[in-house]
């Protein structure tokens, strides 16, 4: 219950840092899924290849997450 209380009353910088970490977590998932898609055994076999653009999603979410973390870093470290 205390964690929820701290999250509700957190500053904008802390919320932005959490959003950046969430975007980086999603970027990691996209990276793993892209590796799984490219590590197929045979390119000639008809397998389910997938249609999701994992590389683009990875790059976009990594850049957004890095930007959120960079903007929130001074306040999170305590240098207001």
pLDDT value of residue 59: 97
Tell me if 79 is assigned to some domain.
Answer: yes
Indicate the number of domains in the chain.
1
Q: What is the dihedral of CA 31, 34, 38, 40, to 10 degrees?
A: 110
Q: Is the pLDDT of residue 13 over 90?
A: no
pLDDT value of residue 65: 97
Cβ distance 75 to 13 under 8 Å? yes
Expressed as residue numbers, the domain containing 76 is: 53-80
pLDDT value of residue 44: 63
Q: What is the pTM of this model?
A: 0.81
pLDDT digit string (tens) for 53-70?
999 999 999 999 999 999
pLDDT digit string (tens) for 21-38?
999 999 999 999 998 888
| Spatial CA neighbour of 53 closest among 39, 34, 77, 28 | 34
Tell me if 7 is assigned to some domain.
Answer: no
Cα angle vertex 63, ends 36, 76, to 5°? 120
């Amino acid at each position: 219950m205390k964690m929820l209380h701290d999250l509700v009353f957190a500053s904008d910088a802390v919320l932005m840092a959490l959003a950046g970490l969430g975007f980086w977590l999603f970027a990691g998932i996209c990276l793993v899924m892209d590796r799984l898609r490219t590590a197929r055994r045979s390119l000639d076999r008809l397998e389910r290849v997938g249609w999701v653009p994992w590389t683009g999603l990875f790059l976009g979410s990594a850049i957004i997450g890095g930007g959120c973390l960079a903007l929130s870093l001074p306040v999170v470290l305590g240098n207001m």
